[in-house]
Amino acid sequence: MLNQWSRRKFMGRTALGGGAVISGEAALAMLTSTRVWAAAAAGDLDVLNFALTLEYLEADFYAQGNAAGIFTEQKTKDLFALIGSDEQAHVQALTDTITKLGGQPVAKPTVKYPDGTFKEVKTFVTTSKTFEEVGVGAYLGQAGAITDPTILQAAAGIFGVECRHAALVGKLAGLQPEGGIYMGATETAKSKDQVLAAVKPFLS
């Protein structure tokens, strides 16, 4: 049962290139390590702020959804509480890291949602799947723009958690594995322009 999972088990472990294996929580810790502070380039700060904008959107979405009282099944309520907690942890880690690197965290955007987003579970789940897929594609799409290997590894850890979110939400939505929950043998990267176009309807 989802309500029996610990947050550590939910986030799991993410395998990375070169045989390194880190947990999702370790990825967040790496983002605020002294080694990263000393190494970040301006381009890395741009990527971190881009990621922060998306994490703001996701964290806001789940906060509002979890407060709406629309979940009748405990396992669904527990799942979205876990996902919301993860997204807030991502926001905090990115904000702290950007600040400690000498950068300025981007301001939280004003978010708008279509009418009915938080009135029915089906609509909420569909929107959740959209956000998670955008997040997966965004992290993958920006991987090549990150110059510091420690930041890249930490971002890969968050990317892995976002993939798991997308899969769990897809399963909840009743989607088939291939062709529904995922498309093909590899994930598809999204460019910054594609990501911004996808989230534009949610920004005031």
Cβ 141 vs Cβ 189: under 8 Å: yes
Asked if residue 19 is part of any domain, the answer here is no
Q: DSSP letter string over 55-110?
A: HHHHHHHHHHHHHTT---SHHHHHHHHHHHHHHHHHHHHHHHHHHHTT--PPPPPP
- The structural domain count of the chain equals 1
Range of the domain at 180: 42-202
Whichever domain contains 141, its CATH number is: 1.20.1260.10
Asked if residue 13 is part of any domain, the answer here is no
Q: How far apart are CA 60 and CA 82, in angstroms?
A: 14
Asked if residue 34 is part of any domain, the answer here is no
Cα-atom radius of gyration of the chain, to the nearest Å?
Answer: 16
When pLDDT is cut at 50, 70 and 90, the band that residue 102 belongs to is confident
Asked if residue 192 is part of any domain, the answer here is yes
Would you say residue 199 has pLDDT above 70?
Answer: yes
Burial bucket for residue 138 (CB in 10 Å: 0-12, 13-18, 19+): buried
Asked if residue 28 is part of any domain, the answer here is no
Q: What is the pLDDT of residues 17-35, one digit of tens each?
A: 333 334 455 555 656 554 5
Rounded to the nearest 5°, which phi and psi values hold at 77? -60, -45
Would you say residue 10 has pLDDT above 60?
Answer: no
Rounded to the nearest 5°, which phi and psi values hold at 54? -65, -40
Asked if residue 79 is part of any domain, the answer here is yes
For residue 179, the model assigns a pLDDT of: 81
For residue 27, the model assigns a pLDDT of: 59
